[in-house]
C-alpha cells in the first residue's frame, strides 16, 4: 500500500506545484522518485517529528499542500501537540501520513505499534481521518485527501497487503464501501485487518450465515447513513479494527447508534485495552489478540445464534 500511496502522490505532484513532502529521515526505497523529481519541494527534517510538523504547517500557511510522512506512530503521537496547536488550530492544509497502521511493525514492538492513533486523531477539531484497507482504496484515498482543503490523517498499510476489493472503489470523504451484501448481520471494518473479516464472512456464508461486509475507510467524518442502514436492515453489527478498543471505529459506530437512538445488537472487536507487548508478525499478533479469522468467525456465529 505504501508504494501505491507514493505513486499516486507523485502523479498529483507533477500536476500541482503546491505539493510538498516533508519527512523525518524515513521512507527510503519509496520516496526517491518524489525527492529526485522535486528537490525544491522535498524537505527532510531529520529525526525530529515535532519540527517536521511545524515546518509542514508553515509550508501550508504559505498556500501549499504539505505532506508529513513517517512510520507507525511517529508522525502522530510524537508530535501530537504540534498537530493540535499548529495544524488543526489553524486548519492548515497538512496531510499526516503514517506507514504501517496497527501492528504492521509487529516485530519491532510497542514503540512501533500504531494502536491509539484513530482515537486521538479523530478527537481533534478540523481533522479528517482516513483508513484505507487495500490498494484500490489507498489509491483513491490519496486523490480524495489531496483534493480536500484542510488537515487529513491517512493511515496507510505497510506492504504486501491482500486486496479486499475486486475492482475500483467509489471513494469519498465521509463515505464507506460495501464489499458484500448480506441480511443476517453486518461486519463494519476499517484498515488492513479487513482481509480477516472478509475471509471470516466467506466461511460464514458456507455455513449458511449471510453477512453484509462494509469497509469504513472514513473514520471522521463517518458514514452515518451506512451504519444506521446496517442496524435497521440487519439488526446486528460487529465492528473489526486493528486498534485499541477505546475510541476507534467501534466507539465511533456506537456514538452514531446512540445519537440516532437506533436499537441494534452490537459487538466491538479490537485490541484489548492493554499494552500490546508481544513481539511477532502482524498476522501472528492478530491471532494473539483476538483478531484472527477464527476469532471473527466465532463472533459471527454467536451473533447469528449458530
Higher-confidence residue of 5 and 306: namely 5
pLDDT digits (tens, 9 = 90+) for 162-212: 999 998 899 999 999 999 999 999 999 999 999 999 999 999 999 999 999
pLDDT at 28: 84
pLDDT tens for each residue of 106-129:
999 999 999 999 999 999 999 999
The per-residue pLDDT for range 230-268, each reduced to its tens digit, is: 999 999 999 999 999 999 999 999 999 999 999 999 999
Return the percentage of the chain with pLDDT > 90, whole number. 96
Shared domain check, 7 and 134: yes
Q: Are residues 44 and 124 in the same domain?
A: yes
**Domain span holding position 152:** 2-156
92 and 32, same structural domain?
A: yes
User: Are 147 and 260 in the same domain?
Assistant: no
Do both 6 and 151 map to the same domain?
yes
Instruction: For residues 132 and 276, state if they share a domain.
Output: no
- 6 and 62 share one domain: yes
Q: Which helix (H) or strand (E) holds 301?
A: helix 293-304
- Helix H, strand E, coil C: the string for 204-262 is HHHCCCCEEEEECCEEECCCHHHHHHHHHHHCEEEEEEEEECCCCHHHHHHHHHHHCCC
Q: Specify the CATH number for the domain of residue 68.
A: 3.40.50.970
Please check whether residues 194 and 286 belong to one and the same domain.
Answer: yes
Kindly state the helix (H) or strand (E) to which residue 65 belongs, with its residue range: strand 65-71
How confident is the model at residue 86, as a pLDDT? 97
Flag whether 167 is in a domain.
no
195 and 144 both lie in a single domain: no
On whether residue 163 sits in a domain, the answer given is no
Tell me how far apart the alpha carbons of residues 64 and 40 are, in angstroms, rounded to a whole number: 13
What pLDDT shows up at residue 160? 86
Q: How many domains does the chain have?
A: 2
- Per the CB < 8 A criterion, the answer to whether 267 and 239 are in contact is yes
- Whether 93 is in a domain gets the answer yes
Confidence of residue 55 (pLDDT cuts 50, 70, 90): very high
Same domain? 18 vs 110: yes
What is residue 29's predicted lDDT score, i.e. its pLDDT?
Answer: 87
> What is the DSSP code (8-state) at residue 73?
T
pLDDT grade for 27, boundaries at 50, 70 and 90: confident
Question: pTM above 0.85?
Answer: yes
Question: What confidence score (pLDDT) does residue 255 get?
Answer: 98
**pLDDT above 80: residue 306:** no
The verdict on 184 and 142 lying in the same domain is no
Q: Are residues 14 and 128 in the same domain?
A: yes
Average pLDDT, the chain: 97
Residues 302, 306: Cα–Cα separation, whole Å:
6
Q: What is the 8-class DSSP label of residue 162?
A: P
Omega before 221 within 30 of 0, i.e. cis: yes
Amino acid at each position: 500500500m505504501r508504494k501505491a500511496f507514493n505513486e499516486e502522490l507523485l502523479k498529483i505532484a507533477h500536476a500541482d506545484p503546491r505539493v510538498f513532502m516533508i519527512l523525518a529521515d524515513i521512507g527510503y526505497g519509496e520516496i526517491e522518485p518524489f525527492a529526485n523529481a522535486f528537490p525544491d519541494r522535498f524537505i527532510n527534517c531529520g529525526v525530529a517529528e515535532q519540527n517536521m510538523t511545524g515546518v509542514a504547517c508553515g509550508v501550508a500557511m504559505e498556500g501549499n499542500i504539505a505532506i508529513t510522512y513517517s512510520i507507525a506512530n511517529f508522525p502522530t503521537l510524537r508530535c501530537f501537540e504540534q498537530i493540535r496547536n499548529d495544524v488543526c488550530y489553524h486548519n492548515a492544509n497538512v496531510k499526516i501520513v503514517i506507514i504501517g497502521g496497527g501492528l504492521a511493525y509487529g516485530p519491532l514492538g510497542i514503540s512501533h505499534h500504531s494502536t491509539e492513533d484513530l482515537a486521538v486523531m479523530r478527537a481533534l477539531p478540523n481533522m479528517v481521518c482516513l483508513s484505507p484497507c487495500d490498494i484500490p482504496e489507498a489509491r483513491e484515498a490519496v486523490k480524495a485527501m489531496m483534493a480536500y482543503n484542510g488537515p487529513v490523517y491517512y493511515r496507510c498499510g505497510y506492504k504486501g497487503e491482500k486486496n479486499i476489493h475486486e475492482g475500483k472503489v467509489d471513494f469519498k470523504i465521509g463515505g464507506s464501501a460495501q464489499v458484500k451484501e448480506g441480511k443476517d448481520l453486518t461486519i463494519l471494518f476499517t484498515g488492513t485487518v479487513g482481509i480477516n473479516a472478509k475471509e471470516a464472512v466467506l466461511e460464514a456464508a458456507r455455513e449458511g450465515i449471510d453477512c453484509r461486509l462494509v469497509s469504513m475507510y472514513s473514520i471522521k467524518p463517518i458514514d452515518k447513513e451506512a451504519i444506521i442502514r446496517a442496524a435497521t436492515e440487519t439488526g446486528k453489527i460487529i465492528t473489526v479494527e486493528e486498534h485499541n478498543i477505546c475510541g476507534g471505529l467501534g466507539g465511533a459506530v456506537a456514538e452514531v447508534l446512540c445519537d440516532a437512538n437506533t436499537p441494534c445488537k452490537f459487538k466491538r472487536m479490537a485490541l484489548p485495552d492493554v499494552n500490546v507487548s508481544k513481539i511477532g508478525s502482524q498476522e501472528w499478533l492478530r491471532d494473539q489478540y483476538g483478531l484472527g479469522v477464527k476469532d471473527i468467525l466465532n463472533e459471527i456465529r454467536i451473533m447469528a445464534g449458530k
